[in-house]
Amino acid sequence: MSLIEHLLELRRRAMISALSVIVAGIAGFFLSQVVLEQLAAPLRHSSGDRLATINFPSITSAFDVRIEIGLVVGLIIASPIWLYQLFAFLTPAFTRQEKKYVFGFFFTAVPLFLIGCAAGFLIIPHIVALMVGFAVPGSSSLVDAKDYLDFALRLMLAIGVAFALPDFLVLLNFTGVIQGRTILKGWKLAVLAITIFTGIATPAADLISMFLLAVPMVVLYFAAVGVALVHDKRVARRDAAVLEGAGSL
């Protein structure tokens, strides 16, 4: 394919992805009330004598928040579609033998992304409890609805993407962009980045939430390294067999 054909293909798949998110976002809007209640629940159950209530500062704030929730829910619901479009755009770089693995990448990335979003949702109450705990005893915190929802939704999406990143490392390895040894050499930086990310994402008083989030991310990273190394060995053996066959001729 020429550069123009690649760009046209990218535009087509981007339009399909965007349309799927919009359609799913419409459904997400009708679910936004339930999602808002679930995300606001940690504020209502603030412990001790410190209270926190969600506040809508303007007459349009509630509607704006529900629109935002609908789009994020749509992005999560439509994740099988836009992730497939991403993988499908990259599959022409595969050989015919390797193309069969695209389904493995797809069916792995989707649940990893969803599990990451769920993990982000589960740690939100811990973050709320810590932040509210800094308030003066007997006081009440008025939390801006949009700021709070921006934080909660972005946290969920960020952790979802972080959980799916090892799958993309394997995909880059299969397309020949990066070698497994290169991924392995960066393991110290990867573990440090994961630790910093989980430390920022889970500012809890104890380290339990950070530990529970960091461990599966580190395991997923090294699993990606293992898959990439095995694939590199298979490619090396295949290339050696081809050269040996060509030399015998």
Q: What is the 3-state secondary structure (H, E, C) of the chain?
A: CCHHHHHHHHHHHHHHHHHHHHHHHHHHHHHHHHHHHHHHHHHHCCCCCCEEEEECCCCCHHHHHHHHHHHHHHHHHCHHHHHHHHHHHHHHHCCCCHHHHHHHHHHHHHHHHHHHHHHHHHHHHHHHHHHHHCCCCCCEEEEEHHHHHHHHHHHHHHHHHHHHHHHHHHHHHHCCCCCHHHHHHCHHHHHHHHHHHHHHHCCCCCCHHHHHHHHHHHHHHHHHHHHHHHHHHHHHHHHHHHHHHHHHC
Give yes or no for a contact between 157 and 109, defined as CB atoms under 8 angstroms apart: no
pLDDT at 168: 81
Which tens digits make up the pLDDT trace of 28-44? 899 888 888 888 887 76
pLDDT at 156: 86
Which tens digits make up the pLDDT trace of 71-92? 989 998 998 898 888 777 766 6
pLDDT band at 20 (very low <50, low <70, confident <90, very high): very high
Q: How confident is the model over 221-244, as a mean pLDDT?
A: 84
Give yes or no for a contact between 87 and 134, defined as CB atoms under 8 angstroms apart: no
- Name the most confidently modeled range: 27-31, 172-176, 233-237: 27-31
* pTM of the full structure: 0.74
